[in-house]
Amino acid sequence: MAWEELVRPSGAPRGFAHVELIPRTDARTNLLIAEYNAIHALVAQKAAASHALVGAYMTVVAVLLGLVVANGADPRLLLALPVLSAVSGVTILRRRRDREAANRYVLEVLKPAAAECAGDERMFTWGEHYARHKAGRSLLYELGLQLVFPLSGLACLIVTFPRLESVTDWSIWVAGSVLLVVLLLVYVGQNRSRLVARVAVGFRSGALDVVLRRRARRVGSGDAER
């Protein structure tokens, strides 16, 4: 259905959906559509850039591991990974924050304006729909995507620590450690409420599952005794 077919006729009461809708295209409608398309394109661009950054980082990790493990290169080459992982991780988190801000703008600003123009509250509801249906499958994906940077950087710090010799080695190692701490602080700051809520939900689900299993076992044992 075209946008022009949803616009509320001039003079019709707000929210009144049982009148004949008159196709209309005005400046406000065009601005809403243009702004929504621009924000949607921005969100898609940042998501694609984040995935490309993850792929590039994993390629660098594979190349360095191949040089060290297969070709016997100096293990201190891995000192570059903590710095790179921290910078990449902070970039990923910043882009995710920008995407969330864009989605909130659509829900809080554009959606009410679109509902007022169209007389239909169901406009621009994709963000809410996606948020409701992604929770069950996205926890492990999000944790894996966001923790791959600090975990790989920490592993490289542990491996290279016994092999530090020069002041330059120690300087790079300390810089990588500081940047990883910054990455973890940013990660905790952005995900504290989300992690607490999801851990609570997971704990309740696990406890409920245990209770149901115990009840099922008791019922089964009672039937067997009879």
> What residue ranges do the domains of the chain occupy?
3-199
Question: Which pLDDT does position 139 carry in this prediction?
Answer: 57
At 110, which helix (H) or strand (E)? none
Q: Where are the beta strands (DSSP E) in 9-168?
A: none
The radius of gyration of the chain from alpha carbons, rounded to an integer in Å, stands at: 26
- Distance (Å, whole) CA 137 – CA 147: 17
Which has more confidence, 121 or 40?
A: 40
Locus of tokens 């996606």: 130
Question: Which pLDDT does position 226 carry in this prediction?
Answer: 58
Question: Which pLDDT does position 205 carry in this prediction?
Answer: 63
- Distance (Å, whole) CA 91 – CA 183: 10
What is the DSSP secondary structure assignment for residue 25, as one 8-state letter? Answer: -
Question: Which pLDDT does position 172 carry in this prediction?
Answer: 92
- Distance (Å, whole) CA 124 – CA 36: 9
Q: Does the predicted TM-score (pTM) go above 0.85?
A: no
21-32: pLDDT as tens digits: 444 456 777 788
Which has more confidence, 124 or 80?
A: 80
Chain CA centroid to CA 124, Å: 20
Question: Which pLDDT does position 174 carry in this prediction?
Answer: 94
Query: For a pLDDT cut of 70, what percent of the chain falls above it?
Result: 64
What average pLDDT does the structure give for the chain?
Answer: 76
Lowest mean pLDDT among 12-16, 91-95, 131-135, 144-148: 12-16
66-88: pLDDT as tens digits: 898 888 888 888 999 999 999 99
Six token digits for residue 59 = 């390629």
191-214: pLDDT as tens digits: 776 666 566 655 666 666 677 777
